[in-house]
């Protein structure tokens, strides 16, 4: 009995001591989900990217200002025909102590472009034909055809540079402890609960990172996540539910970091008869009062979107085209009548019951379309079921919430390009417009920015006319922070899900 | 004496054998269900925003062994399961048995503590209500118990969090700390989920206790004992409670078993990384081996608890023991 | 006899009136709703009670009172349907398990164990795959989930009853199995079953809200109490009354069912009746 008490007391004492010793530089980051995998070449969602950006760095990444930042590469040169890119590497070290060399870059990129690779951006990076390494600090990429957005794809978290030796030893083992050149070393992943990383002393940015370690704790339930922030269990949370944003802003201990990058849109199956007509898709754009969606599904935290979802400052944005549509039910009815549906029609809307904002957007859309006579029946499976239906084209139209992947206008290809695979996650099923395909093809190979701007201007005109998507709103995307956390930035524009990179700047007061 | 021990052993062996067969039936059902379920793990595996080509999907499927005929997959799985190898998680290749061994004890702990809280609250309340049947006390207690049944656990949990962690700051709102790392923190984090779970269960245990006690009180033998002049206290403690114990133990055992797969909401809202959390996450990702492994663990825990409850029965009720043997 | 009970027990009367009222609303709810329960008021979301909206509004600015009223029908249909399915099949399976031939009863009770050891979420998912979600599939799924519960309770109670003296008498008199089941067993095991039924009604209403997460709920924008409670949990901070109204109604309904169920059981139970 006495013995037992002694051990308990000892355990208690040591644990309290241990906690205090670490308390200074430990950040607790509440994430909305657990990564399914740490495999660096697969985009497994926002939480996985947040963690990846602590462990890994690429040749480039996006910095706090949303612009490309040189990371492992000091800079690059490109030949006028946009076929050869030459990168100079800086002096940097991997977590295993070895230096970052051109051989590592070659191995990392070849791993993504290999025939049997499962890399998410394999298609885009597939234009890289050969990789030359004239010396240990120089890398030359030779492309099979001009591809202007290349550097942006290399700046994605999934284009991380990892040691060639590691690839050889662990490349096919999804469970191997990751090794990168980022500010934090992987220490432990307790499945289902938390993933821990610790400071990497030889990080190539002098004086960074400031924290000793970061605990990424997984909080799937949004209400629980918010409570964890409010009670001080964690210091930062991602994906703040819109309904709780106000209470975080008004709290004396907490602050909110918001951007308006991601957008909500409707994606159509253009084989479903009414939706095969551009007029009908336009009518839907005119019919939906954007403020209804924003005020109900997003607690007023969003900005109406009446054109194509191109953020201000991105190529292709223009002020007059940004508000091409407006809320005009009369015009919507007129367009419906013109298309041959004066009394509306019945239609299924696919969304998911698993995420409240998808679910509620669908309900708001249903109510708005009822006003022009379109009877919407909701189909609300769980997320996995919705994804399967989405990918099989088993929908009439669906609610999607997403963002472009990169800050280069080529992000549009993923959504608008037709081509050979006409049923995909992100395109409107079976939509294939030759004019749009040609413009997107041209945009990727044109180096001159003025010329490029013109091409994407033409693209926007054609896209609005065809309206394969109806964009509804920019939604606020927020992190909630304890006020003692400084240095964390929510990246602007599309890049909010890559904000994890700024953990290297975080300090605790 | 030795004959009765041998008999007891035989009984236990027979029950164990039954349990194993039961487990096999459950395993087979679980396996077949996964193939009927809608959704596709491969799509989720290939990434959030990618547009996987049909070739990439096919190669992934082949790599995971999902292209094999279902029957051959079943036998491979069953054979491995016999060796306690439940395969590897589809998403990251982490062994399923590691997941299960890590999360099972946490759910067991939460469930046991909750059921103890529930029994400690529910049984005395139920007895107290039954003994003063029709009185104000009975009405009040029964109404509270009814309220307890009809308020969902996530409302109780949310209120507990609001009061004890956000307002008063006494307890953490959620999370889990390994007992080896910090004993105090471990139990501080266990407190709220266990209470939230226990209170709801206490209500139904109280209801069941009340009605069983009432039922026994109405039996002839109680009247006979009263007529013989036995003291009321002795009647209740020695006879009524003993007889009422069987249905009460039944419902407690049943509830404990149900908790194996039924702590879903509580685990989710308190971020308690147990078996239900594992199962729900695996179902969401259509992570077949993980779903199968965690369900089998849930079923096994359930069957084991039932076995114990049944053995307890025969201890409590000598007549059943006699009849069976 | 029931009339006498009503006269002597005001709580029983109140319970009956309340249940009658709920059923009345269940039938005529859509006529009783003071406002359009589906009309969105994006400028008036999550408001507390006012002259325009007596009980306030939900996250879409819809009138809570109207939604509560028309939500009664699907709620009741699911709860009653599920309890009926579970009660009917569960009771007979349980009796058969206790009173049937040894092999049959062995198989039955092990089958029940297999069903019980199957986590509910799985059955729910299966159902999502096969049926459109809605009242009927919900009632069936929840009903099937609760069959083993009824069976276990019926089984335990029947075991007790079959040991009683009068059973020996019945058997000695050569009564048929069906006669024994209906005249001797069923009336004597009714009381735990009635309790189980009241528990099931409440549980069914709550489970329905949990299943909507998997996409098996009542399809929006159609409301149900369970779904309202589940949604309202997220808005406790903004609009506490949102969760209180449906919870209160649910609690009162379950309370009424319990009170009435208890009294009915007393009236029906032959042993208690003699007192």
- Distance between first and last Cα of chain B: 14
Whether B38 and A381 lie within 8 Å, measured CB to CB: yes
Of A243, A362, A378, the CB nearest to C235: A243
User: Residue C192 and residue B215: Cβ atoms within 8 Å?
Assistant: yes
pLDDT in tens, chain C (275 residues): 566 666 667 778 888 999 999 999 999 888 888 899 999 999 989 988 888 888 999 999 999 999 999 999 998 999 999 999 999 999 999 998 888 788 888 888 888 878 877 777 667 766 766 666 778 888 998 899 899 889 988 988 888 887 776 777 777 777 777 777 787 788 888 888 887 888 788 778 778 766 765 667 788 888 988 888 888 888 888 888 898 898 888 888 878 887 787 777 777 665 554 43
CB C51 within 8 A of CB C4: no
Nearest CA in chain A to B280: A220
Distance from CA of C169 to the nearest CA of B (A): 16
Reduced to 3 states (helix: H, G, I; strand: E, B; else coil), residue A398 is strand
Contacts of A354 in chain B (CB under 8 A): 284
pLDDT of B116: 94
Using a CB-CB cut-off of 8 Å, the residues of chain B touching C272 are 214, 218
Q: Does A385 touch chain C (CB under 8 A)?
A: yes
Nearest-neighbour CA in chain C from B90: distance (Å)? 19
Which residue in chain C has the smallest CA separation from B280? C121
Q: Whole-angstrom Cα distance, residue B206 to residue C199?
A: 12
Q: Is the ipTM of this complex over 0.90?
A: no
**Domain map (residue ranges) of chain B:** 2-82, 105-324
Q: Using CA coordinates, name the residue in chain B closest to A17.
A: B182
Q: Considering only alpha carbons, which residue of chain B is nearest residue A383?
A: B284
Across the interface, do C45 and A223 touch by the CB < 8 Å criterion?
no
CB contact B310 to C (< 8 Å): no
Lowest mean pLDDT among A18-27, A81-90, A499-508, B167-176: A18-27
Residue among B140, B152, B166 with most chain C CBs within 10 A, to mutate: B152
**In this structure, what token pair is assigned to residue A285?**
């754009």
Residue A14 has pLDDT above 50, yes or no: no
Check residue B188 and give its pLDDT.
92
pLDDT at A23 over 60: no
**Out of C40, C128, C234, closest to residue A223 by CB:** C234
Higher pLDDT among residues A472 and B259, named by residue: A472
- Chain A CA closest to residue C131: A381
Instruction: From chain C, pick out residues whose CB is under 8 angstroms from the CB of B306.
Output: 113, 116-117
Which residues in chain C touch residue A289, judged by CB atoms under 8 angstroms apart? 42
Interface touch C215/A352, C-beta < 8 Å: yes
pLDDT band at A18 (very low <50, low <70, confident <90, very high): very low
Structure confidence at residue A175 (pLDDT): 79
Give B102's contacts in chain A (Cβ within 8 Å): 190-192
Mean pLDDT taken over chain A: 91
Q: What DSSP character marks residue B67?
A: T
pLDDT tens track for A121-170:
988 999 999 999 999 999 999 999 999 999 999 999 999 999 999 999 99
**Separation between Cα atoms, residue A450 and residue B174, nearest integer Å:** 54
Q: Which residues of A touch C59 (CB under 8 A)?
A: 243, 296, 360
Radius of gyration in angstroms for the set of CA atoms belonging to chain A, rounded to a whole number: 24
Kindly list the structural domains of chain C, giving each domain's residue range(s) and its CATH number in brackets, ordered by start. Answer: 54-269 (1.10.3720.10)
pLDDT in tens, chain B (325 residues): 466 677 777 877 888 888 888 888 888 888 877 666 666 667 666 654 556 667 777 777 777 777 778 788 888 888 888 888 888 887 777 889 999 999 999 999 999 999 999 999 999 998 888 888 777 888 888 888 877 777 778 778 888 988 998 888 899 988 898 888 888 989 999 999 999 999 888 988 888 888 888 888 878 888 888 888 888 888 888 888 888 887 788 778 878 887 877 788 888 889 899 988 888 888 777 787 888 888 888 888 888 888 888 777 766 665 554 444 3
Contact (CB<8Å) C254/B146: yes
| Contact flag B150-C206 (C-beta cutoff 8 Å) | yes
Q: Give the contacts of B257 (CB within 8 A, at least 6 positions apart).
A: B301, B302, B305, B306, B309, C116, C117
Residue to mutate among C36, C42, C61, C67, with most A CBs inside 10 A, is C42
Of B146, B149, B247, the CB nearest to C192: B247
Angle, helices B288-316/B241-262, rounded to nearest 10 degrees: 170
Residue B78 has a pLDDT of 84
Contact C121 B283 (CB under 8 A): yes
Question: With an 8 Å Cβ cutoff, are A385 and C215 in contact?
Answer: yes
Q: Which CATH superfamily is domain B105-324 in?
A: MetI-like (1.10.3720.10)
The distance of B83 to chain C (nearest Cα, Å) reads: 22
* Backbone dihedral angles phi then psi of residue C197, each to the nearest 5 degrees: -65, -45
Confirm if A233 and B175 have CB atoms less than 8 A apart: yes
State whether C121 and B261 contact (CB < 8 Å).
yes
Q: Report the residue of chain C nearest A223, measured CA to CA.
A: C234
Q: What is the DSSP letter of B237?
A: I
Smallest CA-to-CA distance from A298 within A340, A353, A355, A337 is with A355
Q: Do A380 and C219 touch (CB under 8 A)?
A: yes
- From the CA of C265, how many Å to the nearest CA of chain B? 10
Size of interface B-C (CB pairs under 8 A): 137
Reported as type and span, the H/E element at residue B301 is: helix B288-316
Q: List CB contacts (< 8 A) between B33 and chain C.
A: 122, 125-126
Residue-level pLDDT at C121:
66
Q: Residue C140 has which token pair?
A: 């069936």
With a CB cutoff of 8 Å and minimum separation 6, the contacts of A114 are none
CB of B277 less than 8 A from some CB of C? no
Asked if B295 lies within 8 A of C157 by C-beta distance, the reply is no
Helix axes C64-99, C225-232, angle to 10 degrees: 110
pLDDT at C2: 63
Q: For residue A5, what pLDDT band results from cuts at 50, 70 and 90?
A: very low
Q: Which residue has the higher pLDDT, B245 or A469?
A: A469
H/E element, A264: strand A263-268
Task: State how far the Cα of A289 lies from the Cα of A284, in Å rounded to an integer.
Answer: 10
Question: How confident is the model over A370-390, as a mean pLDDT?
Answer: 89
Strands A138-143 and A84-89: antiparallel
Note whether C60 contacts A366, CB cutoff 8 Å.
Answer: no
Contacts of A377 in chain C (CB under 8 A): 219
Cβ B90 vs Cβ B177: under 8 Å: no
Which residue from B161, B271, B278 is facing A219, i.e. has the nearest CB? Answer: B271
Alpha helix segments (H runs only) across B168-287: 183-217, 220-227, 232-234, 241-262, 264-270, 275-284
Nearest to C217 among A292, A299, A353 (CB): A353
Interface subset of A 38-67, CB within 8 angstroms of B:
38-39, 42-46
Judge residue A143's burial from the number of C-beta atoms within 10 Å of its C-beta, 0-12 exposed, 13-18 middle, 19 or more buried: buried
Q: Which of B40, B269, B285 sits opposite A36 (nearest CB)?
A: B285
Nearby residues of C167 by Cβ (< 8 Å), 6 or more positions away: C161, C180, C184
Measured between beta carbons, the chain B residues lying within 8 angstroms of C159 are 320
How large is the average pLDDT for residues A104-121? 91
Average pLDDT over residues A216-244: 93
Question: CB–CB of A19 and B285 under 8 A?
Answer: no
Q: In chain A, which among 347-376 make CB contacts under 8 A with chain C?
A: 352-354, 356, 359-360, 362-364, 366-367
| A135: DSSP letter | E
Selected residue of A4, A15, A239 to mutate for chain B interface (largest B Cβ count, 10 A): A15
What pLDDT sits at residue A3?
46
- The 3-class SS string of A487-508 reads CCCCCCHHHHHHHHHHHHHCEE
- Chain C touched by B219 (CB under 8 Å): yes
Which chain B residues have a beta carbon less than 8 Å from that of C116? 254, 257-258, 302, 306
CA torsion sign for C76, C79, C82, C86 is: negative
d(CA B78, CA B80): 5
Neighbors of chain B with 3 or more C-beta pairs under 8 Å? A, C
């Amino acid at each position: 009995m006495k013995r037992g008490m002694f051990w308990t007391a000892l355990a208690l004492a040591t644990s309290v001591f241990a906690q205090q010793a670490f308390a200074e530089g430990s950040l607790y980051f509440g994430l909305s989900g657990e990564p399914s995998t740490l495999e660096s070449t697969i985009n497994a969602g926002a939480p996985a990217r947040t963690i990846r950006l602590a462990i890994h760095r690429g040749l480039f990444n996006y910095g706090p200002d949303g612009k490309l930042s040189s990371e492992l590469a000091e800079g690059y040169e490109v030949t006028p025909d946009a076929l050869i890119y030459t990168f100079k590497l800086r002096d940097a070290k991997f977590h295993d102590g070895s230096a970052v060399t051109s051989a590592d870059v070659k191995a990392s990129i070849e791993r993504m472009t290999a025939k049997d690779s499962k890399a998410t951006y394999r298609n885009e990076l597939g234009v890289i034909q050969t990789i030359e390494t004239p010396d240990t600090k120089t890398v030359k990429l030779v492309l099979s055809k001009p591809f202007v957005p290349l550097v942006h794809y290399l700046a994605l978290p999934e284009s991380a540079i990892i040691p060639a030796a590691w690839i050889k030893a662990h490349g096919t083992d999804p469970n191997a402890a990751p090794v990168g050149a980022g500010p934090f070393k992987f220490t432990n992943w307790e499945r289902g609960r938390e993933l821990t990383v610790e400071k990497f002393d030889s990080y190539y940015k002098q004086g960074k990172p400031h924290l000793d370690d970061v605990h990424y704790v997984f909080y799937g339930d949004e209400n629980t996540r918010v409570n964890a922030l409010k009670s001080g269990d964690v210091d930062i949370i991602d994906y703040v539910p819109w309904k709780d944003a106000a209470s975080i802003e008004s709290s004396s201990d907490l602050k909110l970091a918001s951007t308006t990058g991601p957008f909500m849109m409707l994606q159509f199956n253009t084989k479903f008869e009414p939706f095969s007509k551009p007029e009908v898709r336009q009518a839907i754009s005119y019919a939906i009062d954007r403020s209804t969606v924003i005020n109900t599904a997003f607690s007023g935290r969003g900005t109406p979107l009446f054109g194509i979802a191109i953020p201000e400052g991105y190529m292709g944005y223009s002020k007059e085209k940004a508000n091409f549509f407006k809320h005009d039910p009369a015009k919507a009815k007129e367009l419906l009548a013109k298309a041959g549906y004066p009394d509306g029609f019945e239609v299924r809307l696919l969304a998911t019951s698993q995420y409240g904002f998808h679910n509620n957007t669908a309900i708001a859309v249903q109510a708005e379309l009822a006003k022009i006579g379109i009877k919407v029946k909701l189909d609300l499976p769980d997320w996995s079921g919705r994804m399967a239906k989405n990918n099989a084209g088993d929908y009439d139209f669906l609610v999607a919430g997403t963002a472009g992947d990169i800050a280069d206008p080529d992000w549009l290809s993923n959504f608008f390009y037709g081509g050979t695979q006409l049923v995909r996650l992100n395109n409107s099923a079976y939509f294939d417009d030759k004019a749009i395909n040609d413009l997107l093809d041209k945009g990727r190979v044109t180096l001159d920015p003025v010329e490029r701007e013109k091409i994407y201007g033409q693209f926007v005109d054609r896209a609005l006319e065809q309206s394969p998507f109806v964009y509804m709103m920019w939604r606020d995307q927020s992190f909630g922070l304890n006020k003692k956390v400084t240095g964390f930035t929510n990246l602007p524009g599309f890049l909010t899900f890559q904000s994890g990179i700024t953990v290297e700047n975080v300090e605790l007061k | 004496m030795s004959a009765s021990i041998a008999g007891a052993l035989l009984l236990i062996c027979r029950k164990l054998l039954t349990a194993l067969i039961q487990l096999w039936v459950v395993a087979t059902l679980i396996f077949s269900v996964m193939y009927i379920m809608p959704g596709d793990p491969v799509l989720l595996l290939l990434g959030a925003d990618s547009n996987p080509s049909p070739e990439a999907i096919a190669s992934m499927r082949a790599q995971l062994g999902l292209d094999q005929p279902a029957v051959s997959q079943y036998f491979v799985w069953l054979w491995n399961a016999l060796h306690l190898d439940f395969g590897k998680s589809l998403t990251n290749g982490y062994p399923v048995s590691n997941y299960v061994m890590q999360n099972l004890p946490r759910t067991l702990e939460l469930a046991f503590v909750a059921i103890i809280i529930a029994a400690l609250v529910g049984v005395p309340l139920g007895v107290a209500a039954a003994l003063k049947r029709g009185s104000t006390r009975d009405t009040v207690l029964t109404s509270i118990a009814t309220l307890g049944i009809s308020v969902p656990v996530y409302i109780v949990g949310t209120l507990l969090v609001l009061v004890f962690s956000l307002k008063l700051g006494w307890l953490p709102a959620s999370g889990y700390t390994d007992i080896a790392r910090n004993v105090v923190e471990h139990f501080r984090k266990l407190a709220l989920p266990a209470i939230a779970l226990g209170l709801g269960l206490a209500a139904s245990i109280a209801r069941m206790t009340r009605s069983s006690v009432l039922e026994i009180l109405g039996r002839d033998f109680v009247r006979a004992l009263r007529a013989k002049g036995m003291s009321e206290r002795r009647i209740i403690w020695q006879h009524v409670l003993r007889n009422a114990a069987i249905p009460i133990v039944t419902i407690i055992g049943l509830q404990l078993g149900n908790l194996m797969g039924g702590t879903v909401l509580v685990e989710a809202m308190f971020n308690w990384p147990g078996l239900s959390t594992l199962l729900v996450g695996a179902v969401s990702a259509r992570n077949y081996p993980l779903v199968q492994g965690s369900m089998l663990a849930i079923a096994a825990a359930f069957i084991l608890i039932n076995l114990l409850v049944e053995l307890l029965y025969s201890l409590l009720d000598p007549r059943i023991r006699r009849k069976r043997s | 006899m029931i009339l006498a009970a009503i006269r002597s027990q005001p709580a029983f009367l109140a319970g009956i009136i309340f249940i009658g009222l709920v059923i009345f609303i269940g039938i005529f709810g859509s006529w009783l709703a003071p406002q359009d329960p589906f009309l969105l008021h994006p400028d008036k979301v999550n408001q507390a009670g006012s002259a325009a909206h007596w009980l306030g509004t939900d996250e879409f600015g819809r009138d809570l009172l109207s939604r509560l009223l028309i939500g009664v029908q699907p709620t009741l249909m699911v709860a009653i349907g599920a309890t009926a399915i579970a009660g009917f099949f569960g009771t007979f399976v349980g009796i058969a398990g206790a009173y049937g031939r040894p092999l049959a009863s062995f198989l039955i009770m092990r089958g029940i164990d297999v069903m019980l050891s199957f986590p509910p979420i799985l059955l729910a998912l299966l159902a999502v795959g096969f049926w459109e979600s809605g009242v009927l599939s919900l009632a069936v799924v929840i009903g099937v989930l609760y069959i083993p519960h009824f069976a276990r309770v019926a089984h335990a109670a029947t075991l007790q009853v079959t040991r009683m003296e009068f059973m020996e008498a019945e058997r000695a008199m050569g009564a048929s199995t069906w006669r024994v089941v209906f005249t001797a067993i069923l009336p004597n095991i009714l009381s735990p079953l009635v309790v189980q039924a009241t528990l099931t009604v409440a549980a069914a209403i709550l489970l329905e809200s949990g299943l909507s997460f998997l996409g098996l709920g009542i399809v929006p924008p159609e409301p149900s109490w369970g779904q309202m409670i589940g949604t309202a949990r997220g808005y406790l901070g903004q609009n506490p009354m949102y969760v209180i109204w449906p919870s209160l109604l649910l609690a009162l309904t379950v309370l009424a069912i319990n009170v009435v169920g208890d009294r009915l059981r007393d009236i029906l139970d032959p042993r208690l009746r003699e007192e």
